[in-house]
Amino acid sequence: MTDLNPAPDGSVKQGNRGGYVHTQVTKKDMKSYLLSVIAIFSAAIPGTLLAWWATSLLGLTGIPLALVTVVAGMVLSVAFFAGMIALGRALKFIK
């Protein structure tokens, strides 16, 4: 068996194989992951609703409405998610 050499980031490199053995996940890490998942779901709902409302105001219907709503919804959801992650990091809720 090869010796495990800790890296500066806390992970452990195993011999010369290049693989990593991950250290134990802490409660703080799990809280961060859970809040990130919650942020993803909470960004999807307002992003999609805002996109649907905005594209409906343009007078689109049917397939064009669906296609434009999907693209706009993704863009708005990513913007909401990035804003929530930045806010969470600024308030020290997540890493």
**Number of structural domains the chain divides into:** 1
Please report, rounded to a whole number, the percentage of residues in the chain having pLDDT higher than 70: 74
Query: What per-residue confidence (pLDDT) applies to 89?
Result: 86
- Phi/psi of residue 18, each to 5°? 85, -5
Q: Judge whether 43 lies within some domain.
A: yes
Q: Judge whether 38 lies within some domain.
A: yes
Q: Judge whether 95 lies within some domain.
A: no
Residue with structure tokens 């909401």?
80
Q: Judge whether 51 lies within some domain.
A: yes
Residues 6+ apart with CB under 8 A from 41: none
pLDDT in tens, 9-45: 665 555 555 555 566 777 777 877 887 788 888 899 9
Mean predicted lDDT score pLDDT of the chain: 80
Q: Judge whether 5 lies within some domain.
A: no
Q: Give me the domain span that covers residue 53.
A: 25-90
Q: Judge whether 4 lies within some domain.
A: no
Q: Judge whether 18 lies within some domain.
A: no
CB of 13 closer than 8 Å to CB of 23: no
Q: What is the pTM of this model?
A: 0.59
Q: Judge whether 32 lies within some domain.
A: yes
